Amino acid sequence: MKIAVVGAGAMGCLYGAYLSKQHQVRMIDTLQSQVDAINAEGITVHEANGTVVSYPNVQASLSGQCHEKMDIVIVFVKSTYTEQALEQNQSLFNENTLVMTLQNGAGNDRIIEKYAKKENVIIGNSKHNAVNLGKGNIKHPASGATTIGSNHEAKQQITLAASLLEEAGFETVVTDDIQRIIWSKLLVNLSVNTFTAITQTPIGYMVKNQHAWDFAKRLIYEAIEVAEADGTYFDRREALNMVKSVCEVAGDGYSSMYQDRKNHVKMEIDAINGAIVEQAKRYGVPTPYNTLIVDLIHAIEGSYDLYD
């Protein structure tokens, strides 16, 4: 099958590399050096067990410059760039193209539905962790399930997507309650991503330090109040154990938001903690901790110019 992965960052490259074992994969990115490196050498994955695996058959194009119609498009850009990326790459789509988002944050599916049929939009998340080493190289320190579903009647499309991922070697779970999965991933990201970006620490540190864990719990409890107002209910202890498990598995891995801060890139805070704050306004739920974190992350972004 012809597959485009929009966003050749760490996670995009991981999925693109694995899928290239059996399919024709084209990475789409805005960074010329990344495109050139992938076209020259493919993608190289440094696995957690120390092995280094090359995937030489992957091709790459600059955003907006590939006009080949794809069977499947996987969206892996930062949530803040979803609209722009889809606008630039409309030529990848025809009426039958299946579009899958495995991005962080909430609301990406609503943007994608402007460019594809609703029943062709698959929503999901991934428990894999990957770090971008540059020039088509990534580190893959942690693995986990990829969970997918749909807000619409899309049994055939979901079956196809699940089969594609499983054949590539991704553990895949199909769920009828995708909104719970999206909220669950948000609970992880709004605590882990923001904490590691602020403190510039590995993911595992958050559960090793009591002050750090107390910080995370405040954000998580507040977000659960919003989720329940929206109709998705969580057992607090189970939610905390879920986040703790992610931290323990990821260990010395680094979050995407940490990597963005390190590279002085705009962070996804508006699609993560910011999404909680905006959703809370609909129900009158107070979110002082998440609101503070949104402001703090934007303040950090504003400091980039001091060091450039």
Q: Beta partners for 2? A: 24
Q: Provide the pLDDT for residue 103.
A: 87
* Per-domain residue ranges of the chain: 2-176, 179-306
Q: Please give the pLDDT value at position 181.
A: 83
The CATH number of the structural domain formed by 179-306 is: 1.10.1040.10
Q: Quote the pLDDT of residue 308.
A: 61
Tell me what pLDDT residue 180 has: 86
Q: Is 109 exposed, middle or buried, given 0-12, 13-18 or 19+ CB atoms closer than 10 A?
A: buried
Same fold, 2-176 and 179-306: no
Please give the pLDDT value at position 142. 85
Instruction: State the residue for tokens 């995009």.
Output: 12
Give the pLDDT of residue 36. Answer: 97
Q: Dump pLDDT digits (tens) for 80-117.
A: 789 999 999 999 999 999 999 998 777 788 889 999 99
**pLDDT tens across 138-180, in order?**
999 889 899 999 888 788 999 999 999 999 999 999 998 888 8
Report, as ranges of residue numbers, the positions in the chain whose pLDDT lies below 50: none
CA distance 308 to 304: 6
State which fold the 2-176 domain adopts: Rossmann fold (3.40.50)
